[in-house]
Amino acid sequence: MKKQRIAVVGAGTAGLATATLLGRQGHAVTVIERANSLGAVGAGLLLQPSAISALSEMGCLEHMQQYGQRIDALFGWTRSGRAIMQVEYAHLGEKNDVFGLGVHRSALCHVLDTALETVPHDRWFGCEVSSIGQSDRDAVVAFRRDAEIHREAFDAVVIANGSASQLRPPALVRFDREYPWGAMWMIRPLTENLAALNRPHLQQKYDGSAVMVGALPTGCIPDADGTPMLSLFWSLPVSEISDWRAGRIDLALWKTQVIALWPELEPLISAIASPSELLPATYRDVIMSRWAQGRVGVIGDAAHAMSPQLGQGANMALLDATALASAVRQCENWDEVWGQYYRVRQGSIRFYQRMSRFLTPLFQSRMVGAARGRDLALPLSHRIPWVRRQMAETVAGRKQRWIL
């Protein structure tokens, strides 16, 4: 395609990666972001091997490794110490070194933004996009800056403004709801007295399906002192989040409960002085029939938000960005671009949407039977090499369909 004027709405994982790749092709890219800057917001993300490959393809992997903590496996145990989740990337049986990275969201954004800085582009930060219209000739973005509404025309618009997007073309949205379960999280230095957690593993502990606590080594945060960090997640129904935020929980009782479930967390948990030290996270489940209409496309969480149980949010965003950039490079017009993008991404996106809908209630619900079934079936399945490998492929973010 000849040089296009492209607006990318949202400077998260999907937006920054897309803007970088399209900018490298010589397109005139404008990134429009509502925040004034890319701050150190959020907690840890697990970049799976699929994301590692995408970052490597973009030439960003070495930079990312400066901040990330290598992850080799995901383990989850019941209260009695029974291993329920045992997924190791080594089960993929590959000769190459396959690994994940625990990273802070701001470190990922910093690495992608550093790559974006090397290509010509415009960035309009502090601008909240309120609507996108289109005609045969162009797509018009309306955004608010300094309390005024501005309008700007582009050849195409890529919507990458996250799971709560209100910009998705309504006719394409099949399903959009908040998950009934979310999490409280905090991020703390990975100090010496937390040695049991300083392993290249995402670790979780469960008590039935209603109680889950997870810990992810998260590497270090840009512009901080280089201290390795740990992210801690406590699963809970969204209906209980307002009680946490208002300080209406029995903190002492909660601490006793968590330490009883996972004694190695004691130094971290006993230092919590107030419920407000944990921050809430909620998730959405979004299904779209297609991810584009005319000159407007949707990618990342805006297109297919799902629960973080399979840890695929940032991975899918990076895979979307590389697939979209390759379609733009190969196609002659936007209809062709979105057609190719759909063909390349739909298998993987549909698989992970279904899988996360199936798995989430096994880990976040009050379904006693679901937890019992999980505790029986998962340990057995780990003994079957083919199933073990399929689970590793799933977690690694590489599946395109149910049977490979």
Stretch that binds ligand FAD, among 50-58, 246-254, 296-304, 372-380 (CB under 6 A): 296-304
Stretch that binds ligand FAD, among 9-17, 23-31, 363-371, 394-402 (CB under 6 A): 9-17
Q: Provide the residue type at 326 as one letter.
A: S
- Cα 287 to Cα 57: distance, rounded to the nearest angstrom: 28
Residue closer to ligand FAD (CB basis): 18 or 394: 18
Q: Which of 42, 126, 200, 267 binds ligand FAD (CB under 6 A)?
A: 42
Confirm or reject binding of residue 297 to ligand FAD (CB under 6 A): no
Given a contact cutoff of 8 angstroms between Cβ atoms, the answer to whether 42 and 104 are in contact is: yes
Confirm or reject binding of residue 280 to ligand FAD (CB under 6 A): no
Confirm or reject binding of residue 217 to ligand FAD (CB under 6 A): no
How many Cα atoms occupy the beta-carbon half-sphere of 116 within 13 Å? 26
Q: Which of 8, 11, 84, 288 binds ligand FAD (CB under 6 A)?
A: 11
Q: How many CB atoms lie within 10 A of CB 39?
A: 9
Q: Which of 6, 9, 64, 298 binds ligand FAD (CB under 6 A)?
A: 9
Confirm or reject binding of residue 300 to ligand FAD (CB under 6 A): yes
Tell me the residue length of the chain: 404
Give the tokens for residue 260.
Answer: 């009883």
Confirm or reject binding of residue 34 to ligand FAD (CB under 6 A): yes
Closest distance between ligand FAD and the C-beta of residue 248, in Å? Answer: 24
Question: If 0-12 CB within 10 Å is exposed, 13-18 middle and 19+ buried, where does residue 136 land?
Answer: exposed
- Cα 203 to Cα 30: distance, rounded to the nearest angstrom: 39
Packed helices 13-24 and 313-330: angle between N→C axes, nearest 10 degrees:
20
Q: How many CB atoms lie within 10 A of CB 342?
A: 16
Closest distance between ligand FAD and the C-beta of residue 130, in Å? Answer: 7
Tell me the number of residues near ligand FAD by CB under 6 A.
Answer: 28
Give the tokens for residue 130.
Answer: 């309120």
- Residue for token digits 């000849």? 2
Which 134-163 residues touch ligand FAD, going by CB under 6 A?
160-162
In the complex, residue closest to ligand FAD by CB? 12
Closest distance between ligand FAD and the C-beta of residue 86, in Å? Answer: 22
Confirm or reject binding of residue 15 to ligand FAD (CB under 6 A): yes
Q: Which of 24, 27, 91, 105 binds ligand FAD (CB under 6 A)?
A: 105
Question: Strand 139-145 relative to strand 69-71: parallel, antiparallel, unpaired?
Answer: unpaired
Q: Which of 8, 33, 67, 103 binds ligand FAD (CB under 6 A)?
A: 33
- Number of helices (H), then strands (E), in the chain: 12, 21
Confirm or reject binding of residue 317 to ligand FAD (CB under 6 A): yes
Confirm or reject binding of residue 359 to ligand FAD (CB under 6 A): no
The torsion angles phi and psi of 386, rounded to 5 degrees, stand at -65, -45
Q: Is residue 92 helix, strand or coil?
A: helix
Q: Which of 129, 371, 395, 396 binds ligand FAD (CB under 6 A)?
A: 129
Closest distance between ligand FAD and the C-beta of residue 143, in Å? Answer: 7
Q: Which of 32, 73, 213, 296 binds ligand FAD (CB under 6 A)?
A: 32
Closest distance between ligand FAD and the C-beta of residue 126, in Å? Answer: 9
- Cα 20 to Cα 299: distance, rounded to the nearest angstrom: 15
Q: What angle do CA 252, 257, 260 make, to 5 degrees?
A: 120
Q: Provide the residue type at 133 as one letter.
A: G
- Residue for token digits 């930079």? 63
> Applying CB under 6 A, which residues contact ligand FAD?
9-15, 32-35, 41-43, 45, 105, 128-129, 160-162, 300-302, 308, 313-314, 317
